[in-house]
Structure 1
């Protein structure tokens, strides 16, 4: 390993390239000596922060492979099924404008009208003086969609999970979450001070066993799953998780970020998909940036839960400005269109079904995708993943690679977001182009 110190810059870049095709343990063994040669002893230099070093190494990988940096591309217009960068149009799979409502004339007009009425900010936390009528209107519609007594909307989807989980639970409690849960949930669990346990992905039997072993040691217990998982596009067996939470006297929280507006006959999310009552789940969480064409997060549930959050949750309402008038109005208009036009969600699912069938016919690995708005194409190799992304970009198809550490190296993938305005021809062209690229670039 000492020989690493003597490598030339070119050899170091080649070494970094090799890291992407090895397993994680070997990658770590090779990378640590290289990091040591690049580090200085200045603890005040941001150049020595691990995150910045990782970016430098990533830039070297792109340079070595002659690839463009796929991140922070600037859209020249609305991010819908088609987008534009640097004067060129692309079929767009990089955004989650699921129902095509960001840029919808009715949604845009509502946002503009709200600015005329209320300005660009509510200028205070809602509990003090930042409340506007649109907030209550939005929350009423969200509660209707999720079949709950009440709802509260917050300024950030990420902060919703962090604030709500850390407020409701503490040191005497236990939180169990799916192994593939979103980072915001993990952060909220850590800040809560509750004991945290992780069960294997979608494994309700393992969860049941963990509760048998641990439930009696804790005051309150929360189970957290997602309605649709953001990396794999799969759907958990929600009725089973409801049975388990009732059996062990637990609370159940479902993150609907990628489910609301997508699954169910009306597109209302998990309760609609499974035909259950909204009250069967204790805490419904969702985001406003996807199907609802805005920015923010929300919680739906019992009136007692929502009143607690509105008056007592520091990061939710007390010490946070209310959602801006424009964002509130946009989400409200989008939610009403969802209620009025369930065919948008149905069209999205039809495009997803077509994508999956064509991918399977071309022997592409779609993992556990189940016809939602997320479809992975798993390459199991980050170098191949990056090259495929570049190939598709050159062909006018925009999709992002997902690499380690976001997923394991063996699960490196292109993640396709399916939106309702995609045409059948666009989907067919995309999958056929992808299959041809895979055949051309895949290692023998």
Structure 2
């Protein structure tokens, strides 16, 4: 049987623009990849959201990852017509892989993308998945869907690979081009072509993993490791708060040791750190092993919103401010600073916990995608002008525009009739000494 399905010259055809590549999923990860590749080769950018595609066509970057100017200048062929995928021979799937309410993997986006691609897959193609998954998803779940929808046979009519995304949304330093790219393929031929294609845009170079499963596992443990380290910092913060010791000061002192790991306490959200560990523990449980360290870290991090609100309530009581009906502002709602993405933000945990105490907070975030926040959480943002006469303020996200606020501007947020201004600084961005005064009840992780 002839297994030489992928044209040996496919890479050359891509480079000389005789063959196209496609990017399926144009979010915070997929769109920057499409734009980067389009500087060198022909790219079809596909997304099921016609509204998103129209924004890109009009030169608007809702993700703020590359900016409007780069979108206006790019040669990416943006489309929501799935049949356009037939024009490509090399496909990159970069759709989100969230978790369900019970923390089990939600594979519907990647399954849906596989079905759409399968319907439009042509002989001799290579499909590379970038979505974070547990080991085995590419070959055991995605390949059968591609085969069923296309009527083609993997290894005979098309080939697959996996290359985990490492783009850090909102990070202007660690980009696609500057981070070593792990690549894998189902065999040597596909691995070679996949590696060469990514080398077109990844200046830092590629690392060829031994197998697709190794590459899948490498991605899922990268973020699990970060999650565990942050959980340790959050646990330290709980302990040191009980001891009335400033956690940030302790970490600063410990950080003078050359091999001390630089992590900080905080809310753990986003599509990676707060999600990926559950993919690994889900697969482990299928194999009869109940995770101990990973799930312990997850429990700590998932409870931090509740812990923040408990300390807010204690601060209000100590300041003789009634809890029920207190006017509380939350500044920042995104999952990380200077990034408009609100999906899987853990600030929502603070909002929900406040409701348990009869508090409906004022929420202001000039960076966040307001439409997305309303769609995801039913939340309407308030303006910064609405932050006045407050009983308490929670500085939840360290956006640059919050970092530049003066002491006077912060002071003007509060109700001057209260004996104390209750200020919670989740990220520890303010100078503690400026607010540990008789005027303030200041608290941070």
TM-score, reference length from structure 2: 0.32
Larger Rg: 2
Higher relative contact order (CA 8 A, sep 6+): 1
TM-score, reference length from structure 1: 0.32
Q: Which has the higher helix share?
A: 1
